[in-house]
Amino acid sequence: MSKLTPRTLSGFMELLPAPQQQMERMMEILRKTYSLYGFTPLDTPLIEASEVLLAKGGGETEKQIYRFTKGDADLSLRFDLTVPLAKYVALHAGDLAFPFRRYQIGKVYRGERAQRGRFREFYQADIDIIGDGSLSIVNEAEIPAIIYTTFRSLGLRRFQIRVNNRKILTGFYALLGLTEKSGDIMRTVDKLDKVGTEKVREILTDDFAVARAQAEEILRFISTSGTPETVLSALEGYRGRNDVFDQGLLELGTVVRYLSAFGVPAENFAVDLTIARGLDYYTGTVYETTLLDHPEIGSVCSGGRYDNLAEYYTDRKLPGAGISIGLTRLFYVLNEQGMLNPELPTAPADVLILPMTEDLSPAIALATTLRENGIRTQLHCEEKKFKAKMAYADKLKIPYVIFLGEDELAGGVVACKDMATGEQTKLDAAATIYRIKAGLAERERGSVILG
Amino acid sequence: MSKLTPRTLSGFMELLPAPQQQMERMMEILRKTYSLYGFTPLDTPLIEASEVLLAKGGGETEKQIYRFTKGDADLSLRFDLTVPLAKYVALHAGDLAFPFRRYQIGKVYRGERAQRGRFREFYQADIDIIGDGSLSIVNEAEIPAIIYTTFRSLGLRRFQIRVNNRKILTGFYALLGLTEKSGDIMRTVDKLDKVGTEKVREILTDDFAVARAQAEEILRFISTSGTPETVLSALEGYRGRNDVFDQGLLELGTVVRYLSAFGVPAENFAVDLTIARGLDYYTGTVYETTLLDHPEIGSVCSGGRYDNLAEYYTDRKLPGAGISIGLTRLFYVLNEQGMLNPELPTAPADVLILPMTEDLSPAIALATTLRENGIRTQLHCEEKKFKAKMAYADKLKIPYVIFLGEDELAGGVVACKDMATGEQTKLDAAATIYRIKAGLAERERGSVILG
C-alpha cells in the first residue's frame, strides 16, 4: 500500500509528551488560580454561526477568520473568547447572577500569515467580570492581584504589571482640545516602546497635524514615571479641568490604594501612562504585563475595563473588565528562552514495574496497590530484554523502577531503584510506597517556569 | 442600534455554570484516573489537512465531516481522536518510546442530523497503548481495570464491563466454514440487544444465506453465558480445531485470569460473546460498558485491540489497544436521568465577602488571606442592597458569606454565615478559615455521579 506522509499543519502547535506535560501543568495552575478568585469555568463551542460571531463586523480580524459552510449553514471558528462570551451572557442572562465571573481556557483560530512563533490555532486563557448595568472599580483593582498570583504560581518573579486608565488619556487629550484626534494619538503613543520618542513625535505632528508644542506636552505627560504615588501626584496637577480626567484619576488612585491589601508587591507594579491598548472598546483601567528580562516579548497578559460587552446582541448594558493570556505563544516563548523548568517530572508514570516471574499476578497486584495509593504506575510486560526496559524508563525519565522476582516475592519485599541516584532499596510494599511518595513530593517542589 | 439575536448552534452543547462545574469534575477525574495508569496527556490540532485525515477514505463518517478550504488549503475538523493519534505516532515515532501510552480528552466534530441528545461537537476521552511491532496481551487485560477505576471514581457502582475476543468469533465462523460471511455475521450479531434473537436469525438466513442449522449454532454459541469461568469452559469444547480460535481463547483466558489482581470485582465484569464492535479494525479483545439500570443508553465506554494503527502513514507495524468514552453524550444522559449529584458544590466561590466599611482594605486583605489558604473567594463590592447580595450568594449556592463591619474589625473577628444551616460564627480569621475548610471537605465527600 502506498503511504501518505503524515504531517501537522503549519501554525498549529503539536507538542511531544514531555513539553505537553509542562503545558498541562501551566493550564492546571491557571485553572486553580482563576478559581481562587471566584471565577467559574466556561466552555463554549468552537464553531458559531457567522452572523453571530461577526455581528460587530469589519476589522482586521475578519480576513483571518476560518469561515465555511456546512449544508446551508454559514459557520465560523471563534477567533477569540470575548465574542463567544458576549453571546453567552446575552443568551443566558436570565440564568446568570451578576456580577458574572467566568474564566475560559480554549483554542481560538486566526489564519495569520504563518511565521515562526505565530500560531493559527492557539490557546487563550481569559477571565472576565461582567456587571449588570454597573460594575465597581474594586474589580479593576483586583485584576493586578489575579495577574500577580497567576504568574507567581507559575514561578515567575521578574515581571511587571503596568496599568493605566483610558479616562485619564481621554480627559487629557480633551484638555488639549484634541478630542477628535485622541484615538489616533493613543494608537501612536501605544507604539512608543517599539518605535521610540522621535518617531512618535513625527507621526503626531506630520500624520495627525498635532501642533509641535502639544506633541511635546503629550510626550512629557506620558513619560511621567516613578512610583505609582509619584505619578499620581504629578497627575494631580491636571485635576479639576476635565470631568473624565478627574474620574480616571480617582479610579487609578483606587487601584493603587488597594494594591497592598490585594497582596501585590510594589516591585511588580507600575503606572505607565503610555499604555492605551489598541482596542477602542476599553474605557477605564488597562493592563499590560511584561517580563523584565524579556521586554522583546511584549505583553504576556493584557486587558482592561470596557463599558458594553454585548451591545450587538442586547440592549442590556453589561460593563466588564477582563484579561487574556495568549497561552500558546507564552509557552512557545518560554520554551525558546529555556525558561521551562526541566527538573519537574514529565514522565507518563512515577513507577515502572518490571515483572520477573512467569505468573504476573503479584506484579499486577502491586501495580493495583500503587495506583490505589495515588502513584502513577505502568507495568512493562512486553517481550524485551531487561536492558531495553531500563532504557525505556530512562528515555521517559520515569523516576522509579520496581523489579519483582521470585526472591523478592519469597522475601515479601519489593526491589525499587531510584533512577536519578541509582540507589536501590528492598523494602516491603508499604515502606516502598512511603519512600516513593516522599521522593515524588521532593521532585514536585519546583515551579513550572524558572523566573 | 438593531440587535442580532444571540444563539448557539443546534447540536453544540453549551452548559450553564453549575452543570459546567460538574462536567469539569468529570474531566478532572478522567485526567487523574488515566494518569494513574501511566498514560500521558496529548493535545493535537482540531484541524488537519483533509488528505491526512481522510487517508483511510470512504465510509459513513466522510459525509459528516466538516471540510472546508482556507486559502488554497483543504482542511477538515477531526471526527475522532484515533486518526490524529495515528498521524501523531507515525509523524513523531522517532521521538516516542514504545509502548506509547497516551490519553486525550478533546472535542471532535460530526455533522450528524440534529436530534435530541445527538451532538455535532462532542468530547471524546480516549486512551490508547501503542506497541512497536508487538504488544503484550497484559495491556488488553489491564483495560477493564482502567474502565472500572474510571467509573468507580466517577461514583458509579452498577455497571458492567463486557468483554469478548474477535479471534474467538473469527475462529468460530471459520470452524463453520463461514469465514467469508464472518464480517456480515458479526455486524448482525452485534445488533442482538437491539433487534432480538428472531430478527438476527432472520437476517442471517434470509439476507446472508446462512443455513438454518448453522444460524442455530451461531445463536447457541453467542448466547453462552454465566460467570467468565463458565463461558471459558464452554468454549473449551471448541478448542483444537482452529488456530485463531485457540489463540483467542488463550487471550480471553489471560484477561479473565488477571482480573482480580487488577482489582476488578466479578460483579462488574462479564464475558459476552455477542459483542463484536462494528468496526472492522478490531482484531483481539473488544470492550463495551453498560449501565445496569440504563441498558437503553447502550455502551458508555467501548474499544478494543487493533493490529495496525497507522497503516496509511507508515510501514511500521503499530498494534494497539484502546477505549473511548463519549463524554458529552454520557454527561447529557446522566443529566437527563438525574444521575448527577446535586449535593456537590457548583458555586464559583467558596466564600462571598460582603464589606461593610468605607475603607475596603480590611475586607480585601481578608480575601487575600483566604485565597492564600486555598479558599476560593469573591468580594462583593457592588452598590447593591444587603438583601440583593444575600440573594446572589443563594442563587449561586455559595456556601459561606462573610460580613466584615466596624464591630467585627474592632473585635478582631469575622462574622461568617453557613448558608446551608444558617449558623453564624464570630471567630478570628484563623479559626474561620479552619471552620470553612472543614465544611468544604465535608461538602466534597460525595461523588459526581449517583450510581
pLDDT per residue as tens, chain B (451 positions): 678 999 999 999 999 999 999 999 999 999 999 999 999 999 999 999 999 999 887 667 788 999 999 999 999 999 999 999 999 999 999 999 999 999 999 999 999 887 888 899 999 999 999 999 999 999 999 999 999 999 999 999 999 999 999 999 999 999 999 999 988 998 898 888 889 999 999 999 999 999 999 999 999 999 999 999 999 999 999 999 999 999 999 999 999 999 999 999 999 999 999 998 866 789 999 999 999 998 888 899 999 999 999 999 999 999 999 999 999 999 999 999 999 999 999 999 999 999 999 999 999 999 999 999 999 999 999 999 999 999 999 999 999 999 999 999 999 999 999 999 999 999 999 999 999 999 999 999 999 999 7
User: How far is A201 from A211, CA to CA, in rounded Å?
Assistant: 10
Segment A67-91 shows an average pLDDT of 96
Q: Mention every residue, 6+ apart, whose C-beta is less than 8 A from residue B128.
A: B82, B85, B101, B102, B309, B320, B321, B322
Question: CB distance B102–A17 less than 8 Å?
Answer: yes
A144-307: CATH topology is: BirA Bifunctional Protein; domain 2 (3.30.930)
Interface test with A, best of B364, B380, B404, B437 (most A CBs within 10 A): B364
Q: Under an 8 A CB cutoff, do A52 and B310 touch?
A: no
Question: How many A×B Cβ pairs under 8 Å?
Answer: 261
Which residue of chain A comes nearest to B314, CA vs CA?
Answer: A3
Rounded to an integer, what is the distance from CA B414 to the centroid of its chain?
Answer: 43
In A, which residues are within 8 Å of B43 by CB distance? 14-15, 20, 23
Pairing of strands B121-130, B100-109: antiparallel
Check pLDDT > 70 for residue A279.
Answer: no
CATH topology for B131-307? BirA Bifunctional Protein; domain 2 (3.30.930)
Q: What is the ipTM of this complex?
A: 0.96
Kind of pairing, strands B351-355 and B377-379? parallel
pLDDT computed for residue B56 by the predictor: 82
Which residue stretches of A347-443 are H helix?
A: 361-372, 386-396, 406-411, 429-443
Phi/psi at B409 (5° precision): -60, -45
- Chain B CB contacts of A345 below 8 Å: none
Q: Residue A47 and residue B315: Cβ atoms within 8 Å?
A: no
The 3-state DSSP class for residue B188 equals helix
Instruction: Give contacts of B95 with chain A, Cβ < 8 Å.
Output: 16
Q: Do A47 and B12 touch (CB under 8 A)?
A: yes
Q: Show which of residues 373-392 on chain B sit within 8 Å of chain A, judged by CB atoms.
A: 374-383, 392
- Position A281 scores a pLDDT of 83
Yes or no: is domain A13-130+318-340 CATH 3.30.930.10?
A: yes
CA nearest to B381 within chain A: A136
A276 has a pLDDT exceeding 90? no
pLDDT of A151-187, one tens digit each?
Answer: 999 999 999 999 999 999 999 999 999 999 988 998 8
pLDDT for B58 equals 61
The residue among A53, A138, A366, A440 with the most chain B CBs within 10 A of its CB, best to mutate, is: A138
Give contacts of B 246-275 with A, CB under 8 A.
Answer: 257-258, 261-263
**How far is B45 from B18, CA to CA, in rounded Å?**
28
Asked if A13-130+318-340 and A144-307 have one fold, the answer is yes
Q: Which of A9, A40, A41 sits opposite B45 (nearest CB)?
A: A9
Q: Summarize the confidence of residues A249-259 as an average pLDDT.
A: 97
Say yes or no for a CB contact (<8 Å) between B313 and A139.
no
Chain A closest-CA separation from residue B159 CA (Å): 20
**A14 with B43: Cβ contact below 8 A:** yes
Extended strands (E) in A293-365: 302-306, 320-326, 351-355
Chain B interface, best mutation among A8, A23, A68, by max B CB count within 10 A: A8
Beta strands in B214-311 (DSSP E): 269-271, 282-291, 302-306
How is domain B11-130+319-340 classified at the CATH fold level?
A: BirA Bifunctional Protein; domain 2 (3.30.930)
Which residue's entry shows cell 462532542?
A: B122
Q: Using CB atoms, pick whichever of A313, A315, A364 lies closest to residue B261.
A: A364
Chain A, window 93-152: residues with a beta carbon less than 8 angstroms from a chain B beta carbon: 95-97, 99, 101-102, 107, 109, 111, 121, 131, 134-136, 138-139, 142, 145, 149
Number of Cβ atoms within 10 Å of the Cβ of B127: 26
Confidence label for A58 from pLDDT (cuts 50, 70 and 90): low
Single-letter amino acid, residue B295: P
d(C-alpha B224, C-alpha B230), whole Å: 9
pLDDT band at A79 (very low <50, low <70, confident <90, very high): very high
Helix (H, G, I), strand (E, B), or coil: what is residue B233? helix
Give me the pLDDT at residue A112, please: 80
Decide if B38 and A102 are in contact by the 8 Å CB cutoff.
no
User: b/e for B350-376, b at 16 or more Cβ within 10 A?
Assistant: bbbbbbbeeebebbbbbbbbbbeeebb
Asked if B9 and A71 count as a contact pair (C-beta separation under 8 A), the reply is no
Question: How crowded is residue B177: how many other Cβ atoms within 10 Å of its Cβ?
Answer: 10
Contact yes or no for B371 and A9 at CB 8 A:
no
Q: Closest CB to A378: pick one of B38, B372, B392.
A: B38
CB contact under 8 A, A6 and B46: no
Do residue A37 and residue B377 have CB atoms under 8 angstroms apart?
yes
Residue of A5, A313, A360 lying closest to B4 (CB–CB): A313
Phi-psi map region of B267: left, alpha, beta (phi>0 left; psi -120 to 50 alpha) = alpha
Closest-CA distance of chain A to residue B262, Å:
6
CA dihedral (A329, A332, A335, A337) in degrees, to 10, reads -70
- Between CA A242 and CA A175 the distance in angstroms is 7
Domains in chain B: boundaries: 11-130+319-340, 131-307, 351-443
pLDDT for position B276: 85
CB atoms closer than 10 angstroms to residue B166? 25
- The mean pLDDT value of chain A amounts to 95
Distance CA A328, CA A117 (A): 9
Distance from CA of B41 to the nearest CA of A (A): 7
pLDDT score recorded for residue B57: 74
Those residues with Cβ within 8 angstroms of residue A116's Cβ, 6 or more apart along the chain or in another chain: none
Three-class secondary structure of residue B196 per DSSP:
coil
**Cell digits for B329?**
453524550
CB of A413 less than 8 A from some CB of B: no
Q: A379 and B102 in contact by Cβ < 8 A?
A: no
A15-55 confidence digits (pLDDT tens): 999 999 999 999 999 999 999 999 999 999 999 999 999 98
Does residue B10 sit in helix, strand or coil?
Answer: coil
Confidence at A1, pLDDT banded by 50, 70, 90? low
How close, in Å, is residue B88 to chain A by CA atoms? 8
To the nearest 10°, report the CA torsion of A68, A73, A74, A78. -80
Residues 6+ apart with CB under 8 A from A144: A161, A163, A255, A259, A262, A264, A269, A287
Task: Report the alpha-carbon distance of residue A380 to residue A218 in Å, rounded.
Answer: 69
CATH topology of domain A351-443: Rossmann fold (3.40.50)
Q: Decide if pLDDT at A60 tops 80.
A: no
Find, among B294, B66, B260, the residue nearest to B160 by Cα: B294
8 Å CB contact between A34 and A102:
no
Angstrom distance (rounded) from CA A403 to CA A426: 10
- pTM for the model stands at 0.96
CA torsion sign for A64, A66, A68, A73 is negative
> Scanning the structure block, which residue is given the C-alpha cell 445496569?
B292
All residues of chain A having their beta carbon less than 8 Å from the beta carbon of residue B39 are 348
Compute the distance between CA of residue B116 and CA of residue B332 in angstroms, rounded to an integer: 10
The rounded distance, in Å, linking the Cα atoms of A352 and B37 is: 10
